């Protein structure tokens, strides 16, 4: 598949689903106390593969960018950690996901210091050095231009800034019937 | 993307102190929890991936790194 085909397949897949993984996915990665911090609607849209916020050691006042924020589960957890003196920014290319993120952030009471931007991870619409921490959850593997995405993440981080990404790695080759399937790319 | 490839891309992007941990197997049964995997691709995975690898098709990992400052 070509880069544009992959991007379109991913966008269509995420636009087309009517629910996320819900509690069966969320409970794999988040503790009961973490889930208690998140609105039910956000849990319904859990689609991640880990818990980057737990490992990010976010501090009050920090600016955090969540690349591929989806239904907002990690953006909201990050917003709670950085507090109203900080900023949590969710970035997503899918309009429906950003709308959900905004709605869930409002339900969580963190919308005063949380925003959701439209954009691609390969062209992040933020200035150089404007972010303290970048998190993401199962998103970088969706990019057909991973080096470009990492260069963009590096650019928007301030000197000394850090990343904490949850993702999937694959050792060896998947069967071509699976590797070339749009659904496998999107998942 | 293999873990060593991921680490290499991070280093080429300029990141330092690359750390990878929290490894967790991701198998076909886990994939079924995600609506993004269609029943057709799940079926194809079960058909084409050797049975002794089906519980560990990929690995969930936490990746940390720092921009030099």
ipTM, interface predicted TM-score of the complex: 0.94
Domains of chain A, start order: 3-186 (3.40.50.150)
pLDDT at A1: 56
Q: By CA distance, what is B14's nearest residue in A?
A: A154
Give per-residue pLDDT as tens, A29-43. Answer: 999 999 999 999 999
Q: Please tell me the pTM assigned to this model.
A: 0.93
- A-B CB pairs within 8 A amount to 135
Flag if A150 and B58 touch (Cβ within 8 Å): no
pLDDT averaged over every residue in chain A: 92
CB-CB: which of B9, B48, B61 is closest to A147? Answer: B9
Could you give the CA distance from residue A41 to residue A32 in angstroms, rounded to a whole number?
A: 16
Contacts 24+ apart (CB under 8 A), A104-109: A104/A38, A104/A39, A104/A41, A104/A42, A104/A45, A104/A71, A104/A72, A104/A73, A104/A76, A105/A72, A105/A75, A105/A76, A105/A79, A107/A39, A107/A41, A107/A42, A108/A37, A108/A38, A108/A39, A108/A42, A108/A76, A108/A79, A108/A80
**Burial class, A176, CB count within 10 angstroms (exposed 0-12 / middle 13-18 / buried 19+):** exposed
Between A119-128, A140-149, A169-178, B36-45, the lowest mean confidence (pLDDT) is in A169-178
> Residue ranges of the alpha helices (H) in A45-174?
52-56, 73-82, 95-108, 146-156
**For residue B38, pLDDT beyond 80:** yes
Q: What percent of chain A has pLDDT over 70?
A: 94
pLDDT averaged over every residue in chain B: 94
pLDDT bracket for residue A181 (50, 70, 90): low
Q: Which of residues 17-56 of B touch A (CB under 8 A)?
A: 22, 24, 26, 30-31, 33-38, 40-41, 44-45, 47-49
pLDDT bracket for residue A182 (50, 70, 90): low
Flag if A169 and B61 touch (Cβ within 8 Å): yes
CB-CB: which of B33, B36, B41 is closest to A178? Answer: B41
Q: By CA distance, what is A27's nearest residue in B?
A: B33
Dmax over Cα atoms in chain B, in whole Å? 49
Q: By CA distance, what is B8's nearest residue in A?
A: A147
């Amino acid at each position: 598949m070509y880069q544009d085909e992959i991007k379109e397949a991913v966008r269509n897949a995420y636009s087309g689903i009517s629910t996320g993984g819900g509690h069966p996915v969320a409970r794999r990665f988040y503790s009961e106390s973490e889930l208690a911090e998140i609105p039910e609607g956000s849990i319904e849209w859990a689609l991640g593969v880990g818990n980057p916020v737990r490992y990010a050691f976010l501090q009050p006042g920090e600016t955090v960018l969540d690349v591929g924020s989806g239904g907002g589960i990690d953006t909201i957890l990050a917003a709670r950690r950085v507090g109203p003196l900080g900023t949590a920014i969710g970035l997503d290319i899918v309009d429906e996901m950003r709308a959900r993120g905004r709605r869930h952030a409002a339900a969580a009471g963190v919308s005063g210091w949380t925003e959701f931007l439209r954009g691609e991870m390969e062209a992040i619409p933020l200035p150089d050095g404007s972010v303290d921490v970048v998190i993401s959850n199962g998103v970088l593997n969706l990019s057909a231009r991973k080096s470009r995405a990492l260069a963009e993440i590096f650019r928007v981080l301030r000197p000394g800034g850090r990343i904490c990404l949850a993702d999937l790695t694959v050792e060896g080759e998947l069967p071509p019937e699976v590797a070339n399937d749009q659904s496998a790319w999107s998942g | 993307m293999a873990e060593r490839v991921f680490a290499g891309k991070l280093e080429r992007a300029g990141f330092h102190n690359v750390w990878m941990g929290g490894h967790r197997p991701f198998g076909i049964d886990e994939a079924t929890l995600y609506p993004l995997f269609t029943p057709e691709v799940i079926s194809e995975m079960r058909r084409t991936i050797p049975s002794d690898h089906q519980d560990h098709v990929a690995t969930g990992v936490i990746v940390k790194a720092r921009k030099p400052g």
